[in-house]
Structure 1
Amino acid sequence: MPEPAAGGRARAGIADVAALAGVSQGTVSNVLNHPDRVAAKTRDKVRRAMDMLDYVPNGLARSLAAGSSQALGLVVSDLGNSVFVDIARGAEQTAESTGGTLLLANSDGRLEREASYLAVFAQSRVSGILITLNDAGHYAAISRIAPSGTPVVMLNHRADPGRFCSVSVDDELGGYLATRHLIETGRRRLVFVGGPDKLAPIQQRARGFRRAVAESGVSAIEVVPPWINRADGWRIGADLAGRVIDGDADGIVASTDLLAAGIVQSLAGRGDIQIPRDVAIIGYDNNQAAWDSPLPISTVMQPGHEMGSVGAAMVADEVEESGEHVHRCAVLSPKVLVRDSSMKIA
């Protein structure tokens, strides 16, 4: 008997299709998942029965029976950060171009959620899994539990090419470019606002900052907030206000746009500091916090859309090449976007 569906209407199941077509349930399953195994006349009979019953196949059941699906799984660290939305859009566009779909999960940077979503996607027989990571501890843990039968591509973290494909950004270059930009606009007393040591991209950006400072000979200090959000930036801005007023800081490189937005809000709200006249500020990521700020904030643009697209293409290559696949690491280059917060003062 057809099972109840939403709204009280009976929903046909595979047994109903088999009964109407006069075939076994296994034959119906083969029509859905392995049509080449079924004679054309029998396929037509089963499909007519499906049409008559308005039968809708269970996508998960079909992927389990067929061994895989056309869906691509993506686990992102923070959907509140528009960079990860860009990554999702890039992955989705590439998946759609090959007839696939994207399944999206948000981990909030929590390892237990990353592990849970990996298991869910593997059980759903997705074609492959993309996962964004930002520290070595999570990478090590995910490496131990990653499903062996499903392609897994690491995003935003350079992986061991002996185990996984990966797509990352040259964050050291990004930190260097941001710092060079401020130096080229005449800033000579710089501050780098970083973050926790465990965040590998932040530490790489700090290395780029130090390299540019060493090359130019300007003075510099580094500040390490407890985290990298807007509220952390606001507190750092309040702490740095005195240095800006005294002329001891005229340029700030923030390791994220959220930090930069908080710093801008804190300093601009005082009334006695003008940006960029007194201090130039540049962030990193090119997310909404930078381009939608009342004072548009200069930033280092992460190629998020490209990262997602390249990652999805890597999954497709691994599926197609199967046992002959060779893992590779793609490293993308960031670029500086200059906005009002760091314009050169004539």
Structure 2
Amino acid sequence: MSDSPRRPGADGPIRPSILDVAKRAGVSTGTVSNVLNRPAIVSQEKRERVLEAIEALGFSRNKLASALAHGRSKTIGLVTIDLSNSLFVDIARGAQRRALEHGLYLQLAFADDDPTLLDAHMSALNDERVAGLLVAPMADHGEGIERSRRLGCPVVELNYDGEVPSCRVLVDNEAVGYLAARHLIDLGRTHLAFVIARVDYQPVVLRRAGVLRAVAESDGAVTLTELFAEGLKPREGARIGQDLVALPAGQRPDAVLAVTDVLAMAIVNQLASSGIRIPDDIAVMGCDHNSAAWGGAVPLTSVEMRGEEIGAAGVGLLVAELTEPADTHSHTTIILEPRLRIRESTAGRSPANADQGQS
């Protein structure tokens, strides 16, 4: 793990792009480019307007110079392990917004939960000479990162703290698990079931550590049962839900925390269809703020992962790495704190707790 400097929150002020200069000067981006590269073909009046806008905005004319000098494009790649979880969709949305602000374009690829395919996407994007890569894996992918760098392509990791030194944007996943379990304990729940799968995934391991820490703080007043699913798909949540329904009422937990919202919602559906009241009999919540769980008959309490901010901050780090000299660049880790989103599945139906997660 890197000894890189760490700073909280997203990256600093947005650097002005060529689009900003063009808007301020009232000209096209092509005119701005000509002023920077072939000023003789631009009229004096337009040239002065563009130079004045550059000065006022503090625009850096060598933005992406290192990438372009190596024949790379103005496209950056984003490779995620999955798109069925809206966290990764939010990451892509935030990354695209910030990329456009820097005059870059985003090319998206997802691996459908297959690490081999993730590696293939990284290789394909390198073949296409993208300027840089954002990678959102769930397990270590250091070899792919090092291979990309050897080809002159910088890589920023998202939501994964890998062993290869890199710039990265993380959510504190241990805090995700802790916030979730602490919420249920603060509601007075004393027998928690934690539904967990893919313990080879770093975010899962960290969320489990947070859950265990919250339970340990209860000094024995709260018990925890771990229920292991075979995967993160809805069918596994449905199976866990059926197992809970089959238990005698007195042996059921009074709260269920699933490591993902997809698992939690499948459990909610099984419990509710069997006449178990949520949250009166069993409170249920998830951990990753999947938009699919915001609505439905029982809106799900979850922990917001701040996906758009992850994507935007990642692009900021990538642009910095592209524009800074390699011998002076220092890898930076940005850590974002998660936020609890309380909804009906733990707090019941009331105006005060009817947060549908739209903000």
TM-score, L = length of structure 2: 0.75
Question: In 2, Cα distance between the equivalents of 1:114 and 1:331?
Answer: 24
Query: What is aligned with 1:291?
Result: 294
Query: What is aligned with 1:49?
Result: none
Secondary structure class of the residue paired with 2:303: strand
- Residue 144 of structure 1 deviates from its aligned partner by 4.6
Aligned pair in 2 of structure 1 residues 64, 335: CA closer, same or farther (>3 Å)? closer
Aligned pair in 2 of structure 1 residues 325, 233: CA closer, same or farther (>3 Å)? same
Which residues of structure 2 form unaligned runs of 5+?
1-32, 42-66, 351-359
For the 8 Å contact 1:118–1:147, the answer to whether it is kept is: no
Q: Deviations over 1:274-329 (max 9, x none)?
A: 00000001101111231033210100111110110111000000011131211122
Larger Rg: 1
**Is 1:94 equivalent to 2:98 in the alignment?**
yes
Secondary structure class of the residue paired with 2:134: strand
Query: What is aligned with 1:336?
Result: 340
**Is 1:307 equivalent to 2:310 in the alignment?**
yes
1:208 to 201, 207, 210: 210
Q: Higher helix proportion, which one?
A: 1
For the 8 Å contact 2:132–2:318, the answer to whether it is kept is: yes
Amino acid at match of 1:303: R
Query: What is aligned with 1:19?
Result: none
Which residues of structure 1 form unaligned runs of 5+?
1-32, 42-62
Q: Using CA pairs below 8 Å that are at least 6 residues apart, which structure has the higher relative contact order?
A: 2
**Is 1:265 equivalent to 2:269 in the alignment?**
yes
Secondary structure class of the residue paired with 2:138: coil
For the 8 Å contact 1:126–1:150, the answer to whether it is kept is: yes
Amino acid at match of 2:155: V
Question: In 2, Cα distance between the equivalents of 1:92 and 1:309?
Answer: 8
For the 8 Å contact 1:119–1:147, the answer to whether it is kept is: no
Query: What is aligned with 1:59?
Result: none
Q: Tell me how large the CA RMSD over aligned residues is.
A: 2.5
Runs of 4+ in 1 over 4 A off after TM superposition: 33-41, 63-66
Query: What is aligned with 1:145?
Result: 147
Number of positions where the alignment pairs a residue of Structure 1 with one of Structure 2: 290
Using the aligned pairs only, state the percent identity.
37
For the 8 Å contact 2:148–2:154, the answer to whether it is kept is: no
Query: What is aligned with 1:113?
Result: 117
The 5-angstrom pairing of residues 1-346 of structure 1 reads: 67-136=71-140, 139-148=141-150, 149-160=152-163, 163-216=165-218, 217=220, 218-243=222-247, 245-271=249-275, 273-323=276-326, 324-343=328-347
Amino acid at match of 1:203: V
Secondary structure class of the residue paired with 1:112: helix
Aligned pair in 2 of structure 1 residues 141, 95: CA closer, same or farther (>3 Å)? same
Secondary structure class of the residue paired with 2:288: coil
Aligned pair in 2 of structure 1 residues 280, 205: CA closer, same or farther (>3 Å)? same
Aligned pair in 2 of structure 1 residues 65, 345: CA closer, same or farther (>3 Å)? closer
Amino acid at match of 1:175: G
Question: In 2, Cα distance between the equivalents of 1:256 and 1:159?
Answer: 21
- Residue 124 of structure 1 deviates from its aligned partner by 2.2
Question: In 1, Cα distance between the equivalents of 2:123 and 2:144?
Answer: 11
Moved more, 114-123 or 67-76: 114-123
Question: In 1, Cα distance between the equivalents of 2:39 and 2:100?
Answer: 31
Query: What is aligned with 1:46?
Result: none
Amino acid at match of 2:292: A
Secondary structure class of the residue paired with 1:322: coil
Aligned pair in 2 of structure 1 residues 144, 105: CA closer, same or farther (>3 Å)? same
Q: Deviations over 1:29-79 (max 9, x none)?
A: xxxx999887957xxxxxxxxxxxxxxxxxxxxx98971222111011112
- Residue 145 of structure 1 deviates from its aligned partner by 2.9
Question: In 2, Cα distance between the equivalents of 1:117 and 1:293?
Answer: 35
- Residue 258 of structure 1 deviates from its aligned partner by 0.4
Q: Deviations over 1:99-142 (max 9, x none)?
A: 11111111112223222221222222222100111113xx2442
Amino acid at match of 2:147: I
For the 8 Å contact 1:176–1:212, the answer to whether it is kept is: yes
Question: In 2, Cα distance between the equivalents of 1:127 and 1:239?
Answer: 49
Question: In 2, Cα distance between the equivalents of 1:173 and 1:219?
Answer: 20
Question: In 2, Cα distance between the equivalents of 1:165 and 1:64?
Answer: 21
